[in-house]
């Protein structure tokens, strides 16, 4: 499939939804996710094509990074692996004391040192924006 065929297919889907207003919209209709941009250069191409866009970091999954652009009421989100797109910068460390989890049959998590990390995404972001 080429770009024109894909765009034509999306227009057919749009026509389908306009012809069938009685059907319930998809669960996540407000977001259109694109998952295959896992290289810095791919994200930079989307930034260039989008113009003004936003960046998002998934707090639940440290490795997820996204660029978002709104088209009307639908947000196009380019999702990739932050580890491949940005540079991990250790800015310090913190000491985590030993923890005993009684709800887990007295499971013990030993004391350890944890890195404090920022992400430098540099030129991949519009305007050369740095960090998180």
pLDDT in tens, 46-60: 888 888 888 877 766
Residue 23 pLDDT greater than 80, yes or no: yes
**Mean of pLDDT values over 98-125:** 78
Q: Are strands 31-34 and 74-81 parallel, antiparallel or unpaired?
A: parallel
At 129, the pLDDT band (50, 70, 90 cuts) reads very low
Domain range summary for the chain, segments of one domain joined by +? 3-128
Q: Are strands 74-81 and 99-101 parallel, antiparallel or unpaired?
A: unpaired
What is the rounded CA–CA span in Å between residue 16 and residue 56? 31
At 104, the pLDDT band (50, 70, 90 cuts) reads low
What is the rounded CA–CA span in Å between residue 94 and residue 64? 23
What is the rounded CA–CA span in Å between residue 6 and residue 46? 17
């Amino acid at each position: 499939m080429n770009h024109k065929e894909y765009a034509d297919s999306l227009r057919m889907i749009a026509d389908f939804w306009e012809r069938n207003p009685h059907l319930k919209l998809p669960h996540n209709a407000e977001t259109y996710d694109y998952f295959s941009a896992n290289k810095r250069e791919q994200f930079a191409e989307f930034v260039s094509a989008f113009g003004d866009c936003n960046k998002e970091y998934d707090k639940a999954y440290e490795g997820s990074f996204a660029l978002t652009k709104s088209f009307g009421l639908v947000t196009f989100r380019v999702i990739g692996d932050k580890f491949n797109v940005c540079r991990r910068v250790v800015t310090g460390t913190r000491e985590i004391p030993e923890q005993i989890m009684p709800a887990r049959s007295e499971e013990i998590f030993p004391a350890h040192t944890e890195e404090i990390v920022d992400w430098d995404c540099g030129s991949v972001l519009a305007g050369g924006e740095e960090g998180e």
